[in-house]
Structure 1
Amino acid sequence: MRRVFTNTAGLAALGALAFATAQPAQAGTLPAHQPARAAADTPAYFEMTDVTRERFVIKLTKSEDIQHARALVNGETNDRPHVITRITKRQADYNPRWSYHANPDTTQFFDQAFEVCDATIPYVEDNLDEAGGPFLPGLVWCDWTSRLIREIPAP
């Protein structure tokens, strides 16, 4: 029963990520009743680790995600402690050790997710050429052992 729940929760997390990152059919046009989005939030950077004890930096741009990340780091919550994101197969200036980075527009937090997106930080690096196919379909990555350890200054 637990596996069914985990798989269902994983589908929900992947669906939420896909929905959150979907582009509107007519980008740039807003209905008259919808206000234009305010200027982008100031990004925040967090260091995460996993069972391998490697370190990986993520950039967060949405204020609600930044607040949640700070609450995790400060021990104010244990809710949704793991990172789920779509990876981008190129190095980011704030995360120079790795050949990939977490897309800030898709980065969210989760409690449980599907096995298909689970991989450790170094495993993603070692198998980056296969990411997007059977390994990390859609480039969705959800390291089950990921956890934020600290906020770091902007580069």
Structure 2
Amino acid sequence: MRRLLTRLGGLAAATMLTVGLAHPSQAADPAYFEFTDITHERAIVRIDDPAKIQHARDLLSGVTNERPHLIGRIVKRQAPYNPRWSFHYNPDTVDFFDAAIEVCDATLPYVEDHLDEAGGAFLPGLYWCPWTSRLTREVLAP
């Protein structure tokens, strides 16, 4: 269990370090992508980092199949581009992964239904990494 928590801490630290290293010169227009999970529900994620936008586009075009799943911190409020859900990914924290620990895995409906518990034992630190998440398409900006 300690090893598992250490890995979660390392993943969170790496994600925050990556976010912390972003420079204003990397700024670009955000891109929006629809994603789904095992429940076939759909949501929209906003991605601001140009390298991550390119990775998302590469996933959709089949250029890569590495790191196909989404990870990031959620914000417990609705976003204009994602009106169906009472939460959304913080665009500054969105990244991709191949494998992650169980403590951040949950489906879209489960997060919605248990949003009041998120940030405690459920989705510690508000990190969400749905293991079955996958991008389905790029969508127009709202």
TM-score in terms of structure 1 length = 0.82
**Cα contact 1:10–1:112 (8 A) shared by 2:** no
Question: Does residue 1:41 correspond to 2:32, yes or no?
Answer: no
Does structure 1 residue 57 correspond to structure 2 residue 49? no
Q: Secondary structure at the match of 2:29?
A: coil
Q: Distance in 2 between matches of 1:58 and 1:14?
A: 19
User: Could you tell me which amino acid in structure 2 is paired with residue 138 of structure 1?
Assistant: G
The answer to whether the 8 A contact 1:11-1:113 is kept is: no
- State the match for 1:33 in structure 2: none
Give 1:84's aligned amino acid.
Answer: I
CA distance in 2 between counterparts of 1:104 and 1:96 reads 16
Instruction: Measure, in 2, the Cα distance between the counterparts of 1:154 and 1:38.
Output: 21
Q: Partner of 2:109 in structure 1?
A: 122
Q: Paired residue for 1:146?
A: 133
Percent sequence identity is 58
- Specify the structure having the higher radius of gyration (Cα): 1
Question: How far apart are the structure 2 equivalents of 1:77 and 1:6?
Answer: 28
Tell me, which stretches of 5 or more residues in structure 2 are unaligned? none
The equivalent position to 1:20 in structure 2, one of 11, 18, 32, is: 18
More helix as a share of residues: 2
User: Pairwise CA RMSD of aligned residues?
Assistant: 2.3
Q: 1:39 to 1:19 in 2, by over 3 A?
A: closer
Q: Measured at CA, do residues 39 and 117 of structure 1 come closer, stay the same or move farther in structure 2, by a change above 3 Å?
A: closer
| 2:75–2:88 Cα contact (<8 Å) kept | yes
Deviations 1:106-143 (A, max 9, x none): 00000011111000111000000000000000000000
Would you say 1:137 and 2:135 are equivalent positions?
no
Q: Determine which of 86, 92, 98 is the counterpart of 1:111.
A: 98
User: In the alignment, what sits opposite 1:30?
Assistant: none
* Count of aligned positions: 141
SS of 2:24 mapped into structure 1:
coil
Give how far 1:37 is off: 2.5
Cα distance, 1:17 vs. partner?
A: 1.8
One-letter amino acid of the counterpart of residue 57, structure 1: I
